[in-house]
Amino acid sequence: MVSLARKNLLNDIPRFLVAQAGIMFAVSLVTLQTGIFNGFTRSTGQLMYNSDADIWVSSDTLVQLETTLPIPLSYVLDARKIEGVKIAEPLIFSGALWRPLQGDITRARIIGFDLKGQLFTPINISEGSVDELKKPYTLIVDKTNQDSLSVKKIGDKIQVNSLPAQVVGFTQGNKSIVSNAFTFMSLETANTILTSGQTSSVSCQLPSKSKEFSCTNSYSAPSDLAAPIAPPPLPNKLVASDLITYVLIKVKPGQNIQKLKQKIEATLPNSRAYSREELLEKNETFWQKRTGVGFVLGLGAVVGVIVGIIIVGQILYSSVLDHLKEFGTLKAIGASDWTIYGVIIEQALWMAVFGYIPGMVLCYGVSYWAFATQGILILITPVSAIAVFGITVGMCVGSAIFAIQKVTRLDPAMVFKA
The per-residue pLDDT for range 166-225, each reduced to its tens digit, is: 999 999 888 888 889 999 999 999 999 998 854 433 333 434 433 443 333 333 444 444
Q: Give the number of other CB atoms < 10 A from CB of residue 86.
A: 14
Are 88 and 223 within one domain?
Answer: yes
Are 375 and 404 within one domain?
Answer: yes
**pLDDT value at residue 287:** 85
| Residue stretches of the chain with pLDDT short of 50 | 1-2, 198-228, 418
Are 218 and 82 within one domain?
Answer: yes
In a domain, 281, yes or no: no
Nearest alpha carbon to residue 72 among 271, 273, 264, 275? 271
Whole-prediction pTM: 0.75
- The continuous run of DSSP H or E covering 157 comes out as strand 157-160
Alpha carbon distances (Å) from 23 to 144, 356, 391, 399: 33, 7, 12, 12
List b or e across 113-132, with b for residues whose CB sees 16 or more CB atoms inside 10 angstroms.
bbbebebbebeebeebebeb
In a domain, 54, yes or no: no
**pLDDT value at residue 339:** 78
**pLDDT value at residue 197:** 56
**pLDDT value at residue 206:** 36
* DSSP 8-state code for residue 176: -
In a domain, 188, yes or no: yes
Beta partners for residue 89, in sequence order: 248
Are 392 and 318 within one domain?
Answer: yes
Q: How many CA atoms lie within 13 A of 80 on its CB side?
A: 8
Are 233 and 332 within one domain?
Answer: no
In a domain, 379, yes or no: yes
Q: What domain range is 151 assigned to?
A: 61-269
- The continuous run of DSSP H or E covering 389 comes out as helix 382-408
In a domain, 71, yes or no: yes
